[in-house]
Structure 1
Amino acid sequence: MNRNAAAVVEQAEAYASLFDRVSASGRFDDASSDGPVRLATDQELLEATASVTRLIRLAEAERVKLAGEIARRSELPDDASFAKRMGATSATDLVAQVAGVPREEAGSVVRLATAVRSQEGLSGEALPAKRPCIAAALAAGRLDLTVASAMVRVLHKVQPGLAPFEVDELERQLVARIQEGYSADELLAFLRQVPSYAHPEGQDSRDEDLAAAASVSKRRLENGLTRWTLDLDPLTNGFFESALDANTSIRRFAIVDSDEAPDPTDNDRRPLNRRRVDGVHLVAKRALRSDDG
């Protein structure tokens, strides 16, 4: 069995074994139509959801890989095109027919597949994918298809005007963000801002307008908390977000009174919004510590 298929099978077995534990504990009710799902503890339910999500991602990564091969074979001349031989007009149409998905979804899968599939040299030798970091994250089940597709689109958009190594480094940084505990919505919101960061030239007039509209307000709440509302222009937000991220990351975050580095083995499972509170705390402390008065 190939490595990718084995990963899918292994994850499926992990998902099944979680409910085996429910059955073994005597909590499984055969008469219940919902079976062990209804009888799982809160923690077991969360574990199962995370497990089946990774299983879906691994399976989707395999579908992307298959779609990439369909696209490759369909790029041959008309008389040899796989899609044409199957009676389809294009690789997208063929994937839509075989997978039973809307053409728009099939198109997204094919475009992603083209970016993450391995390439071939002139003599047929295997070459790395155009987007190797995204390909690796997909294959490991760490990246959602929607986010992966958005990453590919953004990299394609910012590519003009950047050196190849700069695009590669940007790809690496984008993929690294998925390890920092951000939600898919937060990642997609960040990706929408990437072009203005990558190509700040040409944004001057717009940035001036945004800077003029930026504001920070503070309001004391009845429960004793203080609500800060920040409407930041892209440049200010870039500084603020970078500083906050650096002190919020699961891998790097720790509130310490000394200059000791945080323990990389710490595994903070709190929601991101709670870790951000501590991140703001640490940013403020460090700012005061470096203040020359």
Structure 2
Amino acid sequence: MPRTPKPAPTPATPPAAQPNEYTVDELARVAESTVRNIRAYQDRDLLAPPEKRGRVGVYDDTHVSRLKLINHLLARGYTLANIQDLIKAIDEGHDLRSILGLENAIGSRWSHERPRKYSLVELAKMFGVKGTPASLTKTVSKAIELGLLERDGLSFVARSPATLNAGATMAQAGIPLADLLDAVHASRAHFNAIAKSLVDLVVRQLDHYEADALPPPADVPALVDAIWRVRPLGMVLVESEMNRALEEASGDYLGNRVAAIMSKKLERKQARSETPVPARISKKKK
């Protein structure tokens, strides 16, 4: 009889991977932090205490992840108090990506323009400035005060090159640069009020929930989607209302001004036509 083949030996189960363990100095190095920060985060309950083995505290990869999260949030402008609230929310079941998505939908930039750097000579050429260097410096300083430019060493950065180009076009059309900057300064408060009203419309989506409380985790994705859809509609509303206001302003002021000029010209023409021309006296030949 043929022999029954022996079953192949079952391979040994590989041992479970051992978690990484760190001393406080090693944790600080791996997580790109400092021992002092680690101690401070533990005091604020942002970081779980280490496992005690005798007199040595032992940390693991969960501590590394938490430290990297804290560093990430600090880099985004959160305070430690904000981070405490977020971490508490995570521990209560919120998904961090949803929370950050909500923050991004509300607080991210509404413009996708890329900043551009300009030299002082480029700015002078763009705006046709032909004064002394002192007068140009004064004008640039005013633009910096208004946030239209930011100093970067010997150069200047415009967060909105489109705005700068629009101003340059108006300046080249003969509108004094100082008047343009004064107009921006005078209108800034009105634009701030408009922006506040529109932002209130967006943020009001959160008013369906308790004050100082995050929405339930299941509601966050739909809320983020709604806010992203509302944002561009706000920009359409601003453009539409601005066009309407410009049409009314130009009709009321520029139209009346042009009509007055035309009326004055007609009056002068009519006056000339009604004025009798004195008869010429012919000289008799001797």
Of structures 1 and 2, the one with the larger relative CO (CA 8 A, separation 6+) is: 2
Larger radius of gyration: 2
TM-score (norm 1): 0.26
